[in-house]
Amino acid sequence: MPKKIVSFQGLEGAYSDLVCRELFRDYRTLPCETFQEALEAVDIGNAKFAIIPVENNIAGRVADMHFLLENLKLKIIAEHYYKIEHHLMAKPGTTLKNIKQVFSHTHALSQCKKNIKKLKLIPINHMDTAGAAKYVKENKDKKISAIASKLASKIYNLKILKKNFEDSKENVTRFLVFSKTNIKIDQGQRIITSIVFNTKNSPASLYNALGGFAENSINLTRLESFFVNKDFKQFSFIIDVESHPDSKSFKNALNILKKFSTKVKILGYYHASSFRK
């Protein structure tokens, strides 16, 4: 029987931890130092699922994940969009007037830039939001604060000085759920299939490779590129398409994609999130 454990990158109280607890309420969460370790935990059987953030509507895509996806052994089985709510926190007894510095992940700091400036705080980068909260808890300096989740404030016993400290209230991160095996989904539902592929090094290769989806009336909802070697001569692409991989139209489009590519890999298929509506 697979362990009822879900892995994530970061410390307890990270936003990924919060999403794990929300999606898998009766599972234990497993903190990991890196995205790769979180995925490997599933591969070697230490966790049943891994939850990884892949993109944010303000900060853009999450670094390093593209390279991991290209060589991934696991399957994507679900997506989840989570509204990020940053909170400014400090040691109990500390007030807004006391604090001079704020620690957090670089993305969190940039997403709270205006509010940090209003309070005349000095922003300092930290490895992650939960780590910043832990650092404030363990540090004797009462002039420091952290930007992190509500869960982090509870875990590290910090007082929230300002709720919803983010500059934009439309701050959403997309997470993917990974498993060792695909889940079975009927074709009569709205399905997203994720694919990674390398195009041939020839004129119009990307145009021709993707042409099959247009010809078969399949909508692309995501297209991203990244280099796969150091001399910038080879591109990999990640696409999300609205189609079940077993449908006739998808198979037709996939045959065309393969014709103009050196490598094609289906990363997984899953229900389209209601957030897409």
CB 167 within 8 A of CB 114: yes
Long-range contacts of residues 67-73, Cβ cutoff 8 Å, at least 24 apart: 67/226, 67/228, 68/35, 68/36, 68/39, 69/196, 69/238, 69/267, 70/196, 70/228, 70/236, 70/265, 72/39, 72/178, 72/267, 73/43
232 is catalytic: no
Choosing from 29, 94, 129, 173, which is the catalytic residue?
173
- H helices, E strands: number in the chain: 9, 15
173 is catalytic: yes
- Please tell me the distance from the alpha carbon of residue 28 to that of residue 7, in angstroms, as a whole number: 9
Task: For residue 5, list its beta bridge partners.
Answer: 28
Choosing from 35, 49, 175, 237, which is the catalytic residue?
175
CB 90 within 8 A of CB 159: yes
Measured CA to CA in angstroms, residue 43 lies from 19, 59, 260, 262, 270 at distances of 20, 29, 31, 26, 19
Catalytic residues: 173, 175
